[in-house]
Amino acid sequence: MLAACRDRHASGCRGRARLVGTARCLCRSERLVASVRLPLFEFARINRIPMVALNVDASLTRAIDERGREALPDHQRQGVGRPALASEAYLDFLITVYRQHAQLKGGRADSGFQYFVEAQQNWEHAMAEALVAQRVTGPQGQPPLVVGIIGSGHLRFGFGVPHQLRGLGVDRVTTLLPLSPGEDCREIRPGLADAVFTFPKEPATPVAPPRLGSKHDRSRNDTPGRAGCLFRGRYRSRRH
């Protein structure tokens, strides 16, 4: 549902209010925050940049987390291929994440942890497949630049999605990660990402969103006045 709404918004066929409304309805299952994500949609719409949804349905991730990937029949896997095996370093990273949940105290041999890893890798492989699908030949015979907006936990230290991309034959992957202003600099270790960035703690001044449409006015005595149109930031006026 959200993917279709996103496509119509990016093409200019659906307004901002309708997009935000759909996002709020899906916020529980898709973990959306409209105020954070909406500027990306607006930027893509104004600059005519194609957008593609990367996520699989959350129900698939939950099913694998509960029963394991092999317990699901092929028709329930939503077409996602078999992920590349996780490295030992990634398993060490994931066991730390796994144990942060109060009720999850098992070790690496625990079936609960194994299912957790399978769910995580299936999710990351699905995102990698969606990115690879966009690497079609461009107008100059070269594949286009594809940018993925992905949670940092799926990208750190070349694990997650970068690892799955390499398994699909994509070697030229660059990772840019945001860091919170208060993050310990000792956490910025070699291999974390190709580059990192941060913002000051002060909130940015709100900026009015771009507006597209027409503006009409009438002069005195209700006689025809001027009609103006705003196209991608330029105001044009004409006399009737």
Q: Taking the mean position of all CA atoms in its chain, how far away is CA 184?
A: 26
What was the pLDDT predicted at 33? 59
The residues spanned by each domain of the chain are: 1-51, 55-136+144-201, 210-240
Distance of CA 113 to the CA centre of its chain: 25
If you ran DSSP here, which 8-state letter would residue 55 be given?
Answer: P
How high is the pLDDT of residue 188?
86
Q: How far is CA 202 from CA 35, 180, 181, 184, 205, in A?
A: 17, 12, 10, 18, 9
Question: What pLDDT is recorded for position 187?
Answer: 79
Residue 139 has what pLDDT? Answer: 65
pTM for the full predicted model: 0.71
Q: How many angstroms separate the most distant Cα atoms in the chain?
A: 83
Asked whether the beta carbons of 169 and 133 are under 8 A apart, the reply is no
Average pLDDT for consecutive 10-residue bins of the chain (240 residues)? Answer: 51 53 47 70 88 88 93 91 95 90 73 93 96 78 87 94 96 92 82 90 68 59 51 48
